[in-house]
Structure 1
Amino acid sequence: MEFLATFFGTVLGGMVEPVKRQLRYIRNYKSNVQKLQSRVQDLRDRKTSVMAQVEEAERNAENIHDPVTTWLTKTDEKIDEIQKFLTNKGQKRTRSSSGSFPNLYLRRKLGKQAQKMVQQCDDLLQESNFPAFSYRPEPEASNVALHDDGYESFKSRDVIVEQVMKALSDPTIKMIGIYGQGGVGKTTLVKAIARKAKAERLFNVVVMANITTEPDVRRIQGEIADMLGLRLDDESKNGRAGHLKQRLRKEKENTLVILDDLWARFDMSMLGIPLKDDDINQKTIANMPNISHNQLKDDKMASDSKWFKILLTSRRKEVLSSEMKAREDSVFKVNVMEEEESEKLFNKVVGITNEDSELKSLATKIVQKCAKLPLAIEAAGKALKNSKNKVFWGNALQRFERQDMTEVLGPVEISVKLSYDFLLSEEKSIFLLCAHLGNDSSIMYLVKYCIGLSIFKGVNTIKEAQDRANESIKKLKDSSLLLDTNSPDCITMHDMIRDAALIIAHKEEHFFTQKYVKLDEWPRKDTFEKCTVVSLQYCDIIDGIPEDVNFPQLEVFHLDSKDPSMKIPDKLFEGMKELRALILTGIDLSKFPSSVKCLIKLRMLCLEQCVLDDNISIIGELKSLRILSLLGSKFELLPSEFRQLSKLQLFDISHCSKLKVIPSNVISKLNNLEELYMGKTFIQWGVQRKTNPDEIATLAELESLQQLRSLDMHIEDITTLPSSLDFDKLDSYNIVIGDSKMFLLEDFHMSHQYKTSRVLALHLKKGDDIHLQRGIKKLFKGVEQLLLGEVDGVHYVTYELNVEGFQNLKHLTIRKKF
């Protein structure tokens, strides 16, 4: 009996917990189903959030990590499974099997399923806390900087390519140099080497930047970062250098950095290029035995250690060996081409064959005048390729042989002059202006000059002028007079082409151009009378600017200064009555020269980074002005006299830190305005339209600008923004609404002033009614870069603010206070 009692007690006791569990499934059936409905909604919400992140990453050309895509697939399947479960007819049958009593078997079964699915939802929600969401793919080196520009393989070049490739394969050599005279083809050669090194898998990552005579560290850092696919958020040069250095140290692939056109010693650490072994792990490589070039091309060998090399070019060997400390056996000279190679290159450019015997004899003589320099050969060839006429070519040869040219110009300059002579009138003007502006200048600066000087006939709008300028730029690139750039908004040309252009400008168009020199005397009086352009950029003018000068034909006067004591004589402009463009930068104009009123033909006035005073009201008398820029200048009040500038097409008062007030009915009177720039200038806007001219301007005045196509501005108080204001016609905008302190300068990807972009930044406080701002909401349709700070009261910004979808969004940045 004791045995039986013990047996049944054990059996029954072991059954109690399973029975309780089954009863809980029955009892908690309803609550489990409700909990499941809540969890599946949480899962749907989380999936929506993840999908929004996926779309943002894909717009930024990023790849999604596999766990994210796997999670989305699993989540879709689970949501479908739960949806079928919740809508299954069996849910109704749990209420009763006979109409009066619940179906306990079915409740137990479905309650158990619901509880299991709740746990599966919890697991999926937990899995969605991804440690890494997306990543940028490796950048393609086949960008503009390294594109194949028709490099022709010649024996004299092939020898150097092999020597450099061997040096690149040598684990003991970190820095390689290539030197040779200007126009010999160093840049073309290193691009070919870079492509070959990548094709042979010696280097996986190749970046290239142009240094030039006046290195711009920020620009160079930007070029390198772009090729690495890296966004630089640091504003200071040192911060950007640290970011670049960190990236290069962490680069998993073999990396080649090419710095082109060094003129003097250059501190690469300013860029963020690591120079020590502990910066880039090369100790392993240095300890390896000598490895052949072919061995290094093997994938396994290349992956065993990380390679980092620097390739430099310069016109002078001493820069590479003495100043940059490159080893003597890793510095190679590029000579001029062999005679046969020169003729072959010229014939290819102009497109003549062996059958063109008459032209070939002339071609041989022309090539000789080009001194076997590829740059000169290509410039001459492209000038002649559209004509196969013997007489035409003979005349071109005579130009080469003309005594007065050969005394002044070298072979490259003569070739450039030949190309220049075949340009149309406006193309000649564009070419000389490009040379005047210098490398990496904004195309929009060029357009400003074109409008100021009326270069394009029959053109009325800035957009038309931009289109015409771009046509001329394309023609100049086709003629090898301009180079391709990484940025479509910039222009650049080879240094020797620019030197030749400035010689031509001085000789034929009477340009007087000086930069970074001591100027102890002004041009002679006979030069005064012929000058059409005077440009003095950062020159040390020993005796200051004379007051009694007379430039009867002067159309452009450009003066940049870093000397705070530089003064402009009050009567200076009385002798410049034909002036069309006046550019003064960094000048103290607190005593504004009254002779400005004599410039009745002036169409372009740029007083940038100057100290101004209220006397600038005299500018209102210059009624022919089309371009007016006061960028970065110091003054407190915009004169009401500016209402008279009704022909103004571009007005720039950005970065004017002291400017707070604009009188009413000034902006509204500029009814031909197409581009208005007020970024980083914090204007106190009125709340409603005022009719009293002594009152301050309101944003409603923008409604009068029917021609406005580009706008850059900051609106600190959204209550000053009229709900009727419509930005729908804007092609380009950079608009900040709310507290600008939430947004860093680097948030705005604008490497150049006037860069075409569509940027909107919002930082809203509680009570700011974004719903009423129809014009702002329309901007979302075309916005390319959206920045969000605090957006209080707007819980789902992408839903509540979005009207027609973010069809063009490329960058989304969210900044939040913590």
Structure 2
Amino acid sequence: MDLWEIILFFWAPICRHIGYFKDLNNNVETLNRKTKKLKRKHDEIQAEVEDAIPVGKRQKTLVENWLTEVRNTENQVDSIRLELALRRICTDHSSRYTLGKRVVEKLEDIKKLNKKLKAKGVFDKVAESSRHPRVLEKQTSLPRGQQSTFEQTLEEIWQCLNEEENGIIGICGMGGIGKTTLMKEINNRCTNTRDFDVVIWITVSKDLNLGLIQEEIGNRLGMKFDRNEDKVDKLFARLKNLRYLLILDDLWESFSLIQVGIPKPDKQNRCKIAITSRSVAVCNAMGADKSIKVRALTTEEAWNLFCETCGDAVLLSETRPVAEEVAKECSGLPLAIKTVGGAMRGKDKKEVWRNALRALEGASPEVSGMERQVFLPLKLSYDSLENDEIKSCFLYCSLFPEDYLIPIDVLVRYWAMEEGFIENVNNLEEASNKGHDILERMKDACLLEKVSCGNEFVRMHDLLRDLAIWITSPSSSSIEGTKFLVKAGEGLVQPPEEKMWGGVVRISLICSKIKHLQITPDCPNLVSLFLNQNSQLRTIHSNFFQLMPKLQILDLSATGIESLPMSLLLLVNLRVLSLRYCKDLVEVPPLGKLKELQILDLSESGLKNFPQGIASLVKLKRLDISLTSFTTIPYAMIYGLPSLEEVSMTNLEEHVDGATFSEAVNMKRLRSLSISVSNLNGFIALDMFHRWFSGLTSFHVTVKSAFCLPLSNKQISIGECDKFPCGIEGLIKYAFSLDLYKSKGLTSLSKFQGDLKSLRDLRVDECSEVECIIDWREVGDDAFQCLQRLDLYSLPNLEKVFDGGAPPPLNTSLQNLRRIWVDECEKLRSLFSSSMVEQLHQLEELTIMKCFQMKEIIAVDKLPHNSFPKLRVLRLVYLRELESICSQRFMFISLEEMKVISCPMLKKLPLFSSSIHEIKGNIEGEREWWEGLEWEDEKAKSLYTRIYKGP
């Protein structure tokens, strides 16, 4: 090789290395320009990808790799820019050379990326058919039927998802009731609509893992996360551009959507989140706009599903009767129906079916699969309860019979006593508050059911009761420590064998048919014994209580016992003794030895003589002797009991007189008082009494009144008085409820003036002299400002409910009134003046019955705009002269139910909504009346006919 060739061989590398140093500034400008151009192309392709993914496509691998390379190159270029900025184009030759080399290398990388971009066919389509379609269908089998419980719930959920105001929907119910099945149907229904860009199903289950939720959402969207990448921001950036439906199945605890990267659904993004949970509280904590309770199947639906699962064996004449009973034991729970049905499939021997029925009735897991597939999944709800107190309450509920309406006050009182709540709080009221709080948590966890007959009762689902019995059974594989013997509601004629009593802590034989307890069971650990509602129980062995040293709760209410054995006095730890409604009871032993007794209920018992020894019960906190016929009552002794907090002695054979009642002021710990008095003289004017009375948290005082149902925890009932009691105003001002029955000397309530401002409920019944309830000219601006319920019955001289025109402009009267019920007020010709209507913007329910002279409901001058904005229920019954609700045309914008019976003169209906196309609710009335109605046009008639139900 000659010299020239040698020079040429080394010249190119030398020039390249010199260029790193010499051309740095020009190369940086070129790099910036080409990087910006590459970034624009990256963003265009990324936008194409994001547009394609919501419609069921997925990013091509080559495209995904190219985009990743571009982002990496951009990061490296940014690093070079930062170093250049820090060095300010330094004059250090070594550093300048190194940076120059890196710049040239990045220019080469960009050149390669541009070359890949131009490769034939690679970027013609950035996405291809996805492995992640818009909706992933789920396998499901929903119990069918046009009007089935599940179909109705399914439609309710679907409607909620389509309502703009509902962003987050909770679907709640006990385990195994079908929440997941319903949501699988909702998921599958989305395949036939374009309502959502993507439907994402996440099964959360017991252990909440936010990272796993992020990964599953990312996988569903075809996303990949780098190790150090911020998942929250990346998920949020993707989801904010999608209209998604996120289904979170089996959620046990709440979490923050922001922490995961999930945009909150709202009216703008039209996204939805549906949550299934056993806990209403979890749904509320997640911000649910609406929660839907999933109901159990009806008997017919349960039978159909059972037959479908079990096969033809259930239809055999020999097995069907027993099979129907077996199906009923599943209590409408689809999980149990399918488990039991599967276990009994192909069984055609009636003996086998009878054995299965016996096992189910006794909450025994003998039926194949019951323990593993039903009890253990249901037990997760029990295990998840936050503390042992709530778990104890759940187990306690199983002591009551199947389908039993459990009185909340009884449950809380007994259980609070046994659990020692009363020892950790200041009084019975605080113990009760704590118990009620725990019951609410159990309702939220779908472990207790609310009942429609008010807030005084709860009910336990049969399968949950079976679960509790299984947990506490001595033979259960679930070792919880506390063991029960529960035979409640099984109709036992004989008590369980003595050997079964030993070792258990709680025994319940409620609603049995036991006539005699001629045994002496050895029960060293027994704490609670429920023998109530054994109406045939007559005798108890003299030594029956001898070997029950730890017994704290003894309920013998509604039994036929005539006396109690002396062994009762050995129960030195007894805290609760209930002899309520023991009509045949004539004597009890002296009770002075029961030093730990805190609750004694003798109400409606047959005792004639007041029990001896009660003066020694220094720990007694609650005493109930209502509706008894004691010949004498030692009031001074009762008022002297130092720990007494609650006393009930209403409707006694002899009413208490005022002078005796005045001694009650010495009861310093008293919080609740129910008492009947013959008159109010002797104490009503005492300042000391008023100060004491105002401090009570609960009272029910009846003055010469027949027994009245309580309306609130502070009630005055006045009945059958020849002359209206003088000085009653002093008590009424403390009351929430006032009940007037057959009281004379009263023409209106205007005389009470400011004493009515705290009243919430008013019931006036058979008060023949009442002419109006309130004359606005005689009362203050705040009379009836808290009134929520007004009931008027059999008032023959009532001509006006409200007289004197309308309340003054700034008057707050009646602005909280929610219910009005008027019955048999024969002289009433109308109910409201038009100006009176302005006060009734909270009214929800209006019932008018047997007001035979009533012509119209509202005597109109000029009806205010948007009258009765919250009225939901209107009942008009036996109003034979009623011609119109109001002669002026107006609308009930919230009306859901209207019942019209025997109102032959009523020919026109008000509108149900501001837009007739939004009509909702139902109308009930006789066919003849309906056909005689007059309509503005045929279109209105057609629309209203849709919601007419007939008689």
Instruction: Tell me the TM-score normalised to structure 2 length.
Output: 0.43
The structure where helix makes up a greater share of residues is 1
Which has the higher relative contact order, 1 or 2, with Cα contacts under 8 A spaced 6 or more apart? 1
Instruction: Tell me the TM-score normalised to structure 1 length.
Output: 0.49
